[in-house]
Structure 1
């Protein structure tokens, strides 16, 4: 099973490396929004620092949404997805490998950029570890939820329009837990524990839901 996971992961990483525009676009969107927002707020460092954690997380969420539309669509159109579903390897494992590759090219760069984003938002260095940790725990959940939405809408004519409608409500708890973990100095650790528990739950059950959705999409 490990060999199947590694093979699919390597394939997805090679495809992503050959198409840098697909994963650079959401990162550029993130940086553009984070650059323009302070200009719109004006010279108010206190207000900017107050809004920064929520802004970082909202833009990270939107960046993940921008990057997931073609996660399964290209494979569905060229028949690769059908081969993955019908292969001897577990479908949930193949799906998890694709989600991991998506996170490595989308979520992980956002985590690595978080100190730079904190500097742009006029946040002190004490905020950087909390924001980075919240993104490290939360962005994999966003990738899994986005992949579930992609699996549910793959093959549909208006799938791109339906995708945000389906998964945005599911992402709200992640957004709330992450921003509260950053903003609550006294009970922040408890929110991080809840975020970690949600990550464990997502890693356990969402690949199964994604696999079931892909099987339905291929059988249509």
Structure 2
């Protein structure tokens, strides 16, 4: 029951897409246009940085709220702090799966980065601080967001193992592997020198 509730809560929250809400507001299919991704980066390129930030904030908040809600439910069910991380991490995986494969968008969503940031913020603040710091460091130094994302997940897996042990770390590694798969086209574009750098996302709508 604990596992089922964590997964269902996570997936339902994950399926609530910021790009879908903004797309309806602006009457545009964000997923089917531009980079054909339902995330903040594609929204920024199509509509400008203000709408991109709005999508990112929605997707971050849903990750944070979902994890907090899962924790509250587990406490109400009497799940102790020693076993709670296992269910919370499985719920976090469900959030990312919901974002990437939402039932609200025919199972074709985004890549989960913003939702992952929100998850980190609700999991453990030290882990969030290190992982998000690593994301910013490598994204800004390389110029490519996806590079920062890769190292963020690596820090997340390592920190999870140190704090919570093997089983949550395995779940975190699955999330890392999923991110690599979802970003495979980005890595291919970097190899072919076709990937857009971070600065290019903010050129639209700066006027």
Q: Which has the higher helix share?
A: 1
Per the shorter chain, which TM-score range? 0.3 to 0.5
Tell me the TM-score normalised to structure 2 length. Answer: 0.45
Structure with bigger gyration radius? 1
